[in-house]
Chain A
């Protein structure tokens, strides 16, 4: 009986862990038109206000906007596209990567 309970608990915890992944995800967005940091301030201003985002980095050389999601929260691709467009630029590609935010920042 004890063994059965332990198996049930393990199965339950595994199920819960799968339903609410608790890791930080880095999102890489390739953006066209980002040639001037003064003009790209809107990207920072908009994403900083998003409840699912804890960190934003703009890389003009690699034409990337890097986003770090908060634990247990996620930003949708639609939100990313809308925020980039509201800032005056054109999103080209959105991808979720396994690298940490700092690793992605350092290239």
Chain B
């Protein structure tokens, strides 16, 4: 048997390769789970809640999983995939804050923000450290819904912004235990994509802890958003 001396630099190099490979596998695993799937934004739920959000809007797929550790803050995982000329990915951890809530007798308005860190890259071109941030404001009564969202992902190779504005009406006032239905029109822009602006008519349903949105961009791309609290 021949014993070969391996320089410590080579071991460090191999360890680094293994780490990158492991991170790649982790990233791909998270994103594979997201293949069916920008998720419906409900960044903070009630104290103690877990929330899972899965969505596909045009060329952007998202999976988010958070634990609200108070009624004003949540922490969890966020992954995104952008289907462009080069498919790009982000996966990381994120912290969300409910910055302000107005609880009015017949309406509620909220301002949220979030920051996160993780890895992003193009398919087949490795990954690099990345940051993510978002801002959201909404106003809702039992018949009217409005929201604006902005989200940024930045890394050495990936730079994407997702901006959207939504307005909707409920055709009827549903009670707590009834099926809620909303008709919503969303306008979305993703920086760096071919389509400059997506106009998205969609229908939103929710009952109990389950939430589902179905729609399509005017260019025919599917929109599906699912959310659950538990």
Contacts and interface: CB of A to CB of B under 8 A. Distances in A.
Interface of A: 31-43, 45-46, 57-61, 63, 85-90
B106 interface: yes
Contacts of A86: 46-48, 70-71
Interface of B: 42, 45-49, 70-71, 98, 101-108, 140-142, 173-178, 180, 206-209, 211, 227, 229
6 contacts: A33-B104, A41-B49, A45-B46, A45-B48, A86-B71, A88-B46
B145 to A, nearest CB: 9
Nearest to B140: A35
B71 A38 contact: no
A60 B180 CA distance: 12
B101 A33 contact: yes
Given A46-B47, A57-B176, 19 more contacts: A32-B105, A33-B101, A33-B104, A35-B108, A36-B140, A36-B142, A36-B180, A37-B175, A37-B208, A38-B42, A38-B229, A40-B176, A41-B209, A42-B49, A45-B48, A88-B46, A88-B71, A88-B101, A89-B103
A63 B105 contact: yes
Contacts of A39: 42, 45, 108
Contact of A38 (B103, B141, B180): B180
